[in-house]
């Protein structure tokens, strides 16, 4: 794995009241009108749209797509501004160092998917595909150990920085789907044992993401239900298996973005 409503600022009184409420509750207030203020899309390749094609040439190696859920949402809702900062390969450290500059008090909505690259899921998938079941299970166990012992603190640091830089924003944190349908229609490739282990690692990752997002007072959007029946090895996959270009492997297709991620985000954004 390389994998938010704005409120009105019409009066100082409303902003002051919201800030006071935040001070007492520690939770984000759901904004009233996302289109009135700015929307910032942060995160990794699952948010930039790797795998969906139609890449924006100026985005370079970040591979931002006009078919990614953030771009589709902004086309439909016309926010006051759109900061598309999500980037292929991003880690929590990358978000902190290079994706927060567009956030400010006028940012009303933020989306983010992050954590998969910190856990090394790209290299884990490479091991599973090339080195067999035993090596795959070992690599998955290493990734899960990182997720369960270290990732939570890294996510909390990112979420705290987002809240500090965008104090008035409604923040939606999205997770990652199961990659495989097990059993499925794939006749070749990795074993069902490896596929089950990889799906289990996704569950572990999503559990930690959910916990950190909830603690931060952010909305959590679980995409797994939408992708159920559309995993690799299903009859209608919304995820690439091993493919060319290789960096699109194990990423959502354009259907996965439009029919999986976009509805989950839209619902959580309110």
CB 175 within 8 A of CB 205: yes
- Give the active site residue among 48, 52, 251, 254: 251
- DSSP 8-class letter at 228: T
| Distance in angstroms (rounded) separating the CA atoms of residues 112 and 181 | 25
Exposed/middle/buried for residue 13 (C-beta within 10 Å: 0-12, 13-18, 19+): exposed
- What's the angle, vertex CA 65, arms to CA 30 and CA 252, rounded to 5? 80
Q: Is-catalytic flag, 234?
A: no
Q: Is-catalytic flag, 170?
A: no
221: nearest Cα among 82, 93, 73, 1 = 73
For the four alpha carbons of 100, 105, 107 and 112, in that order, the dihedral sign comes to: positive
- Give the active site residue among 45, 47, 113, 254: 45
What residues are annotated to the active site?
45, 251
């Amino acid at each position: 794995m390389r994998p938010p409503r704005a409120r009105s600022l019409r009066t100082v009184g409303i902003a002051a009241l919201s800030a006071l409420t935040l001070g007492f509750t520690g939770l984000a207030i759901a904004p009233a009108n996302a289109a009135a203020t700015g929307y910032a899309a942060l995160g990794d390749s699952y948010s930039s749209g790797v795998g969906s094609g139609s890449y924006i040439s100026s985005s370079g190696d970040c591979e931002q797509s006009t078919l990614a859920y953030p771009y589709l949402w902004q086309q439909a809702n016309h926010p006051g501004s759109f900061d598309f900062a999500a980037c292929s390969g991003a880690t929590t450290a990358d978000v902190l160092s290079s994706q927060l500059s567009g956030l400010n008090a006028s940012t009303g909505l933020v989306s983010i998917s992050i954590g998969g690259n910190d856990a090394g899921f790209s290299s884990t998938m490479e091991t599973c595909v090339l080195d067999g079941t035993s090596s795959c299970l070992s690599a998955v166990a290493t990734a899960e150990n990182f997720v369960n012992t270290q990732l939570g603190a890294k996510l909390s640091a990112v979420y705290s920085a987002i809240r500090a830089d965008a104090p008035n924003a409604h923040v939606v944190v999205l997770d990652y789907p199961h990659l495989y349908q097990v059993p499925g229609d794939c006749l070749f490739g990795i074993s069902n044992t490896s596929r089950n282990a990889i799906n289990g690692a996704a569950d572990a990752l999503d559990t930690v993401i959910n916990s950190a997002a909830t603690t931060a007072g952010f909305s959590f959007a679980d995409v797994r239900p939408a992708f159920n029946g559309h995993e690799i090895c299903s009859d209608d996959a919304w995820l690439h298996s091993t493919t060319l270009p290789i960096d699109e492997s194990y990423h959502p297709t354009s259907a996965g973005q439009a029919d999986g991620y976009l509805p989950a985000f839209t619902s959580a954004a309110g």
